[in-house]
Amino acid sequence: MSQETRPLEGIKVVEMSTFIAVPATARFFAEFGAEVVKIEPTSGDLVRFNGVSEGRLGSAYENTTFDLENAHKRGIILNLKDPEGIEALFKLLETTDIFVTNWRPQALEKLGLGYESLKDRFPKLVYGSLTGYGEVGPDKDLPGYDFTSFWGRSGLLGSLYQSDSSPDNLIPGIGDHTAGLNLAAGCMVALYKAKLTGKGDKVAVNLLHSAIFAQGIYIQAAQYKGMGHSYPMLRTEADNPFNNSYKSADGRFIQISMPPFDQFYPKFMPLIGREDLVGEEKYKINNIMQQGLNSEFIAVLDAAFAKKTAAEWTKILTEADIPFAVAATWEEVLEDPQAWAIGAFEKVDYPSGPRTMVRQPIEIAGADKLPYAKAPQLGEHTEEVLRELGYGGEKIRDLHGRQVISTWDDVKGKVLAQSGDKE
């Protein structure tokens, strides 16, 4: 394959991270042809062992989450507490274009791996850092996961539930994938600059800011006190009743979205059997908001939607070109023909049988779409990568004997025991 069809061919990325966000960043680069080397400790990226808690197998040979974030990478084990482990990392960075990490800044500085420590030694290096709360401010050293930094602290969790209920069930990875692609975008900008000028740069992304940006429209609007309803609220109080969900006769929720309310009103009302309300002045959006008629009008829509099944509404709304979607379950999404048509999924063989895997959402017309691959086993490519760096067999055996490096053969028994596999 050429650089024309694999646009990041020749770009080298080193990833030193765990969990989801930064691995997703590095996976993006790998998807378009970059060489990605993932560094792990002997204990491994903890996502390798999260299977049961995610409702899937915990097998080292069938880890769909780890493959989602780490396909097309090579994996090595380095003991970075040993000076020779750090030296091996430095040798790796000599030919690296992008280094990405989600280690906390204080841990990086302790090992001499902060940006200020590396920028003069590796002037062309793009250094990507992803944290929970950023690298300045009173809470910069707090641990952060997407459930806390992205969902909780940002106002997202505090708005997406009915005001007479409890917070929604959260879905792992949404904040991580959002922030991970933000970091990928920033690193690509810095890489473009580095290729033009020969000077690398630091790219910093955090979960909190990523979530605030994602909600920017409504966070900004929250400054206008007394206008609209404050979140959390009831769905019966929605400011725009045409941006709301309604329950069908067979118990399915149908989400409609018609932001220009007044423009859609005369077309939509006959579809729900309320031609009599076409031309009703009190139901213009300004009147609904000013007179507090939200609940009254939503009750009209509730009653109408309750008279037909989701299948019947799907036919009616599709034919009328109304923006809507039936609230799907994950099991339904896996069978969605439109999702398959746009390349969201690919079948991959596993020991338990073929499984549907999720592909990254970015396609470039002229780039080859790589077949889905499995992630590397822990330490699978350690010796291979070191040989490429110029380490001879005797030196590799020495480092191996002193546990500066480890391989899959070294950790295999422990990993398989922890994951419940049998060889």
Lowest mean pLDDT among 141-145, 175-179, 310-314, 380-384: 141-145
Q: What does the longest C-alpha to C-alpha distance in the chain come to?
A: 87
Catalytic residue among 45, 97, 176, 201: 176
pTM: 0.95
pLDDT at 206 over 70: yes
The per-residue pLDDT for 139 is 96
Tell me, yes or no, if 336 is annotated catalytic.
no
The per-residue pLDDT for 1 is 53
Two tokens at 344? 């969201």
Q: Go through the domains of the chain in sequence order and give each one's CATH number.
A: 12-214+348-419 (3.40.50.10540), 235-247+253-326 (3.30.1540)
In tens, the pLDDT along 110-139 reads 999 999 999 999 999 999 999 999 999 999
Residue that has been written with the tokens 């073929």 in this structure = 354
- Where does residue 382 rank: exposed (0-12), middle (13-18), buried (19+ CB within 10 A)? buried
CB atoms within 10 A of CB 283: 21
- Where does residue 120 rank: exposed (0-12), middle (13-18), buried (19+ CB within 10 A)? exposed
In tens, the pLDDT along 286-330 reads 999 999 999 999 999 999 999 999 999 999 999 999 999 999 999
The pLDDT-based confidence of 179 (bands split at 50, 70, 90) is very high
Are 366 and 5 in contact by the 8 Å Cβ rule? The answer is yes
Q: Mean per-residue pLDDT for 352-381?
A: 95
Q: Edge-to-edge strand order for the sheet containing 253-257?
A: 243-247, 253-257, 324-326
